[in-house]
Amino acid sequence: MVKAEEISGLNAETKGRSRFHIIVDTQPFAITTVFKAGPFLTICLTLTTILSGLSPVAAVYVGKLLLNAIVDVTQAGVTREKIHILIHIFIFQLLVLVVGALLNQAGAYLNYFMGRSLSLNMKGRIIKRISKLDYTFFEDPNFYDMMTRAHRETDGKPMAIVYQVTSMIRGTITFISMSSLIISFSLPLFITTVIVCAPLLFIQLKYGEKNYWMQFKRTEDRRMADYTAGIMMSRQHAPEILNFRMWEYLFTKWNTASQRFFRQDVRLYRQRALADIITWTFVTCSTVGATGYIIYLNFAKSLSLTAGEIMMYSGAFAGSISALQLIIETISGIYENAIFLHDLVEFNKIKPRIEISRQIRPIPSQVESIELQNVSFKYPNSSVYTLNNINVIFKRSESALIIGANGAGKTTLIKLLTRLYDPTEGRILLNGIDIKEFEIQALRKTIGIIFQDFIQYAYSAKENIGCGSIENIQNTKNIIDAARRAKADSFLEQLPEQYETMLSKLFKNGQELSRGQWQRICLARMFMKDAPVFILDEPTANVDIETEAHLLGEIARLSKDKICILASHRLFKKDICDKIVILGKGKIVETGSYNDLITKNGEFSRLWHLYHNMTENEFTYS
């Protein structure tokens, strides 16, 4: 199991492993993923690759026959029989070349098709994996780096891997068939092909590894550059960027990083190109030298080779060199992609950190109580407790208001109730049973919630409301009813396409809403979920007084047979809730009814008088 805090160590471990082990570790994953993406395509591609690998040696052999036939006709004279033989060889050569070309085109098509299919398959796997992870991962920058690298590999790497594997198979078949011709003529000549290509293997592996670690080290910087480019092109950020005249600063920030990446890429490419030029020059010279060596042996040992045989062995040497170069390049590419793919392999090993009970209990049909017993919590990699020894119970048909200043722990408490985190100490009980004993998705289905930082989806109004109960997203009647309860129907029905209107100007015919209107949309989203527990984090922070009064009335109606929990830093209205809990610095300062707390003359009373004195005097300032 790979935990969030272990993510940063994964790539350090990768760097210490041998090239062989990295390839071995990733290839089973790559092969199974490729096969699952398209079993029939994989078989077709394999057969096409094998035949493509044999076509070069067939072309070389036919070339020998053709050259010998031409020489024979030239030296011995033209006869009908020799002309027929020459024509048949021409036709055979044409057939070999056409079939070879068709196989290459078929291989290219299958490579492309398989690559796209594999890319789609891998992206889907990443998104599914992300959906199963805990919220804690999304607050870890190391996780974002790993996720970025894993997602990045799905664009080009699957296609590259398929192409490289098929190229290596084709090159291996060609090399074996060409080498058999060379060995039958001269073993030293075959050994020369291996020696000549050895430096190329070293260069390809060395610079492939350099490229990976260069990309790895700048993952976070690249994310920052992409983020900066994104906000410069975002309509949401444009008003503030224009008002504060931030364009030049942001452009410089993006451009500085991008130019640095550009210089690093060019420097590495230049070094690799220089090494390749030297190596390829040596390879080219050896190819010419091999032809000279074949001619020398022919005369020195009186081998009586025909012109066709000389050209066949020379072509076989050049072909084996090319095939071996292809093998080396694909091995290097497979290694380079294997390192990149290792990020995806490791990403797929990440498991949720939230403890799952082995014996899952069904969620009760009615939730009577939610109780926090001695609950304390500190965020991962933090030594400071955000919540400390919280003891409180929320009961059915009871509304509770959690009040506290910003940073008091209200939102953290809500995250624990929805099991985005588990308590560091203590436990949370639902009907007297630890919530860890319930299936996590079933638990969340029992809770309707609106977060303080609610999401504004660039979808239709219908979808924005309907996603509160995803199984009923097409139920227009329920959606309209939820909108009316949140008092969102008044403006939604005025939109050009009413509930089908796109709520973003990012898309054609889209409309923009105010922050207060969006809050009502999100409240309607919560009303769509007929859950036994409702949690509202700052539910009226952005709405007008009339809407606030309406919503509080709806909330009061909800609490008649449900558990209703509100979190706010400014709701001090009388009889707003049955129970009030005051949080301060992660601890419960006071708890009780409105009248009890006012009479007690403690923290709630102090905040209440402060709030009402402020509201009474806010219009008297000169």
Q: For 96-149, what is the HEC assignment?
A: HHHHHHHHHHHHHHHHHHHHHHHHHHHHHHHHHHHHCCCHHHHHCHHHHHHHHH
Structural domain including 515 reads: 453-530
Residue 375 lies in a domain: yes
The residue from 530, 558, 576 where one domain ends is 530
Q: Are residues 66 and 130 in the same domain?
A: yes
For residues 205, 211, 213, 217, the Cα torsion angle rounded to the nearest 10 degrees is: 180
What pLDDT is stored for residue 544 in this prediction? 67
Residue 140 lies in a domain: yes
First to last CA, the chain: 64
CA distance 481 to 499: 12
Does the pLDDT at position 517 exceed 60? yes
What pLDDT is stored for residue 102 in this prediction? 85
Residue 621 lies in a domain: no
Q: Are residues 421 and 545 in the same domain?
A: yes
> Which stretches of 170-291 are assigned E, i.e. beta strand?
none
Mode of pairing for the β-strands spanning 369-377 and 579-584: unpaired
Give the CATH number for residue 540: 3.40.50.300
Section 315-320 average pLDDT:
79
Q: Are residues 430 and 502 in the same domain?
A: no
Q: Are residues 40 and 148 in the same domain?
A: yes
Rounded to a whole number, what is the largest CA-CA distance in the chain? Answer: 126
Q: Are residues 139 and 240 in the same domain?
A: yes
| Minimum mean pLDDT range among 11-15, 57-61, 397-401, 438-442 | 11-15
CA distance 49 to 172: 10
Amino acid in position 404: G
What pLDDT is stored for residue 509 in this prediction? 81
Residue 164 lies in a domain: yes
Q: Are residues 99 and 143 in the same domain?
A: yes
Instruction: Please give the C-alpha separations between residue 552 and each of 17, 530, 549, 557, in angstroms, as whole numbers.
Output: 61, 17, 5, 9
Which residues fall within 8 angstroms of residue 526, CB to CB, at 6 or more apart? Answer: 448, 449, 450, 468, 486, 534, 536
Closest by CA position to 539, among listed 414, 397, 379 = 414
Residue 25 lies in a domain: yes
Q: Are residues 524 and 582 in the same domain?
A: no
If you search the block for the tokens 């590894």, which residue do you land on? 209
What pLDDT is stored for residue 612 in this prediction? 66
Supply 447's token pair: 């809770």
Residue 80 lies in a domain: yes
DSSP state of 363: P
Does the pLDDT at position 604 exceed 80? no
The residue from 530, 564, 599 where one domain ends is 530
Q: Are residues 461 and 490 in the same domain?
A: yes
CB 567 within 8 A of CB 407: no
Which residues fall within 8 angstroms of residue 21, CB to CB, at 6 or more apart? Answer: none
Residue 19 lies in a domain: yes
Q: Are residues 523 and 543 in the same domain?
A: no
The CB density around residue 327, as the number of other CB atoms within 10 Å, is 20
Express each pLDDT in 224-256 by its tens digit.
888 888 777 776 677 667 666 777 878 888 888
CA distance 340 to 148: 11
- pLDDT band, very low/low/confident/very high, at 2 (cuts 50, 70, 90): very low
Residue 352 lies in a domain: no
Supply 164's token pair: 């490289």
Q: Are residues 557 and 522 in the same domain?
A: no
The residue with greater pLDDT, 619 or 260, is 260
Give the CATH number for residue 73: 1.20.1560.10
Instruction: Please give the C-alpha separations between residue 448 and each of 357, 423, 467, 523, in angstroms, as whole numbers.
Output: 23, 21, 12, 10
- pLDDT band, very low/low/confident/very high, at 22 (cuts 50, 70, 90): low
Section 487-493 average pLDDT:
86
Which residues fall within 8 angstroms of residue 247, CB to CB, at 6 or more apart? Answer: 232, 241
The residue with greater pLDDT, 502 or 197, is 502
What pLDDT is stored for residue 442 in this prediction? 81
If you search the block for the tokens 């009316």, which residue do you land on? 484
Supply 46's token pair: 């394999």
As a whole number of Å, the CA-based R_g of the chain is 36
What pLDDT is stored for residue 380 in this prediction? 77
Q: Rounded to the nearest 5°, which phi and psi values hold at 405?
A: -70, 170
Does the pLDDT at position 570 exceed 70? no
The residue with greater pLDDT, 553 or 612, is 553
Crossing angle for the helix pair 141-185 and 307-347, nearest 10 degrees? Answer: 160
Supply 57's token pair: 């040696």
Does the pLDDT at position 532 exceed 80? yes
CA distance 10 to 584: 39
Does the pLDDT at position 212 exceed 80? no
The residue from 494, 513, 530 where one domain ends is 530
Judge residue 123's burial from the number of C-beta atoms within 10 Å of its C-beta, 0-12 exposed, 13-18 middle, 19 or more buried: middle
Domain count, the chain: 3
Express each pLDDT in 349-375 by its tens digit.
777 766 666 667 788 878 888 888 898
* Strand partners for 395: 369
CB 521 within 8 A of CB 464: yes
CA distance 114 to 162: 7
CA distance 324 to 121: 32
If you search the block for the tokens 């709405």, which residue do you land on? 543
Mode of pairing for the β-strands spanning 433-434 and 425-430: antiparallel
CA distance 489 to 333: 58
Summary count for the chain: helices (H), strands (E):
19, 10
Q: Are residues 525 and 575 in the same domain?
A: no
Which residues fall within 8 angstroms of residue 98, CB to CB, at 6 or more apart? Answer: none
Q: Are residues 546 and 523 in the same domain?
A: no
> Which stretches of 465-531 are assigned E, i.e. beta strand?
none
